[in-house]
Amino acid sequence: MNKNILFLLVCLCFLMSFANLQAEEVQASLISEVQTIEPGKSFWVGCRLEMKEHWHTYWTNPGDSGLATKIEWELPEGFQPSEIYWPYPEWISAFGAVTFGYEGEIILLSKINVPEDAKIGESISLKGNVSWLACEKTCVPGKASVSINLVVGEKEELNESHKESFAKARAALPEAEKEGTFQAEAKKNSVSLLISFPEEMNGTSKVTFFPKEAGVFDYAIEQKLEKVDQGYLLHLTVSEYWEEPVTKLTGVLVWENDESHSVWEVDVAVETAKETSETKTERKEDEKGAVAENSSTVTSFAIALIFSFVGGLILNLMPCVLPVLSLKILGFVKEAGGDQSKIWKNGVFFTMGVMFSFWSLAGLLIFLKSGGEQLGWGFQLQSPQFVILLGTLFFLIGLNLFGVFEVGTSLMSAGMSTSKQSGLFSSFSSGVLATVAATPCTAPFMGSAIGFTLSEPAYISLLIFSAIGLGMATPYLLVSCFPGLLSVVPKPGPWMETFKQFMGFPMMATVIWLIWVFGQQQGINGTAFMLGILLLVGIGGWIYGRWGNFTKGKTTRAVAKMTFLLILILSLVLPSLVLYGPDEASVNSSPWLDFSTEKLEELREEGKPVFIDFTAAWCLTCQFNKKFILHTQEVSDKFAELGVIKMQADWTNHDEEITKALAKFGRNSVPVYVFYPKGINSTPILLPEVLTVSLVLERLDQAP
């Protein structure tokens, strides 16, 4: 590591802001209960979230961790959205934490108020920017723009195709609280909710309360239900970290029996229980136990420090860190037999890099936690942008070790002082990189220590993270302070070049792992995206190594460096545009039908206009036209305006029916675009293979 590589890392961080990456764990869309809206009235819309198996998103109060889904509306002037009507959540337990969320499919309802002056016949576009956090074993933030087009009419008309979905969504909403149904009382470190309808609770098998205010209760402690004369008491344990008195209880109560379930909204004031002689005795016993508890806390803190230090040591054995270890081994080998003070200084600077990184990451976590964010250690790998950045960096380091290009050769003629400064900076940078690579691999003994950290004051958190960093840096510090340990290392020689090249393979192994992580987040398209970036970066590295070295002229070197930088920019921008482009869910809610000759004939007999996209996944022109032309807002609006039925003939795998359909138009390849205008006897219009938005709009408008 030297200044050039750190500069490259900064450039990659900047350029990654151009990448438009979309997680595929959740698919978002917008649906409406009506197809025609009426001025002065309100109507229901639903943001539908479809999650992959075992993945979940979060309720308004996510629980011990997570983030609630948010919708930011972009509506025409005069249209007013309501807040989200939250359906009751599921109780999700994992790794000792409890979260509240949704699995499978969920519809988040909102009401839209239509202004009185909305014009009859006007087409209205409703758009919402949705953001969520999807979690399974790891968590991936996601976002999407969803939209729908509706028409203003004299009378509201229901959308029959979504009737069942909205009925199911409303059934999951809590009922309004019945007067006198609930009473709440605070006692000691708990709140008891009195439920006063025993006749309806008869046969109850399970009762669950989901609080709306985060952090008040300890979700891990079981909610106990007790039968009393007035009905039922549900006992909720207040969190030991909640310092304010509980004066109000808001949330959702779900009770289930063998045949059905009911959901109620709870919003009651919490009364303070009167202190009896029994509670006074309990309070005195609690005060006596406070000293013992403080002593236990000190012991727990000492154990956490030990576990943190041991965990930091073990981090050096994690596969995430081994590539960085390779770099340091090379450095120690090169320095063996040389200036021992230089070895000591490099060890100290490496330790400083590790400690600085742990303090920075710990400070970031503490800051986010104080702002209400719930994040876990290693959270940076939840970001696809960071994964691809780290993979690209390791790939470049691997190419450097293989000898494709060299960095820092221009410094060979510099003075000795500059050389020393570069070495110290390299050691500090190696410590930073080692920490960044290490944090996702939480070693044994560290889980409980980190959990202890995130629930304690900031100064304790910093001490714990300092112990982790010191544990990780200790082996390097020992070797640098006692250079005699390097006596077992062979003397420098030609074998070092072979060893250097061999160390490139652990780098590439790490790149493979990061590609797998990225593929888990982004799917097969994401994997192709990252491989495309690595291919272009590899070409750029080869050009830099071939013409950017010190044996070439100054102009040649400058051109090689600029070409490498340009290829680096293209490698991050162009694959992103081709693979991801505009979000399809944001432009039109109407789906593309699968092509069939029978369905086509049926639609034509009904006199409906039909547009057919003959496409294939392996056709780059098809994918470009799909992302940037056919699925744009302008073209989708025109399809909706003309009532065009959209069909997609996917020829990715051989399909005899599609082959015959292509032959009818004298074609045997894709893409092919065919538009059947309205009317049973209309003549089909063939569009060219390369499309533009203006061309498609022109052909649609010119059709009889």
Given a cut of 50, whether residue 357 has pLDDT beyond it is yes
Looking at residue 450, its pLDDT comes to 54
Burial of 291: CB neighbours in 10 Å, binned 0-12, 13-18, 19+ = exposed
Given a cut of 60, whether residue 575 has pLDDT beyond it is no
- DSSP element (H, E) containing 538: helix 504-547
pTM: 0.45
Looking at residue 15, its pLDDT comes to 42
Nearest C-alpha neighbor of 365 from the set 494, 468, 487: 468
- Terminal Cα distance for the chain, rounded: 67
- Give long-range contacts, CB 8 A cutoff, 24+ apart: 102-106: 102/49, 102/51, 102/56, 102/57, 102/58, 102/59, 103/51, 103/54, 103/55, 103/56, 104/50, 104/51, 105/48, 105/49, 105/50, 105/51, 106/48, 106/49, 106/51, 106/57
Give residue-wise pLDDT tens across range 42-95. 999 999 999 998 889 999 998 887 789 999 999 999 999 999 999 999 998 865
Given a cut of 90, whether residue 619 has pLDDT beyond it is no
Looking at residue 408, its pLDDT comes to 42
What is the three-class DSSP state of 646? strand
Place of tokens 């015959």: 660
Of the ranges 54-63, 286-295, 469-478, which one carries the lowest mean pLDDT score? Answer: 286-295
CA-CA-CA-CA dihedral for 261, 265, 268, 272, to nearest 10: 40
State how far the Cα of 561 lies from the Cα of 544, in Å rounded to an integer. 6
134: β partners: 140
Give residue-wise pLDDT tens across range 493-535. 666 567 667 767 877 887 887 888 777 767 777 788 788 888 8
Given a cut of 90, whether residue 425 has pLDDT beyond it is no
Q: In which order are the strands placed within the sheet that holds 685-687?
A: 593-594, 645-650, 610-615, 672-676, 685-687
Domains (range + CATH), the chain: 22-171 (2.60.40.1250), 182-275 (2.60.40), 297-579 (no CATH), 590-702 (3.40.30.10)
Number of Cβ within 10 Å of residue 560's Cβ equals 20
Q: Which amino acid is at 169?
A: A
Give residue-wise pLDDT tens across range 117-145. 999 988 899 999 999 888 876 667 788 99
Q: How many degrees, rounded to 5, is the angle at CA 518 between CA 514 and CA 519?
A: 115
Given a cut of 80, whether residue 581 has pLDDT beyond it is no
Looking at residue 299, its pLDDT comes to 55
Q: Mean pLDDT in the chain? A: 76
Given a cut of 60, whether residue 350 has pLDDT beyond it is yes
Place of tokens 């198996």: 53
Average pLDDT over residues 191-215: 78
Q: Packing angle between helix 693-702 and helix 633-642, nearest 10 degrees? A: 10
Q: Are 174 and 55 in contact (CB under 8 A)?
A: no
| DSSP per residue, 269-305 | EEEEPPP-HHHHHHHHHHHHHHHHHHHHHHHHHHHHH
| DSSP per residue, 328-355 | HHHHHHHHTTS-HHHHHHHHHHHHHHHH
Number of Cβ within 10 Å of residue 121's Cβ equals 8
Given a cut of 60, whether residue 377 has pLDDT beyond it is no
Looking at residue 294, its pLDDT comes to 47
| DSSP per residue, 572-633 | HHHHHHHHT-S-GGGT-SSPPEEP-HHHHHHHHHTT--EEEEEE-TT-HHHHHHIIIIITSH
pLDDT class of 173 with cuts at 50, 70, 90: very high
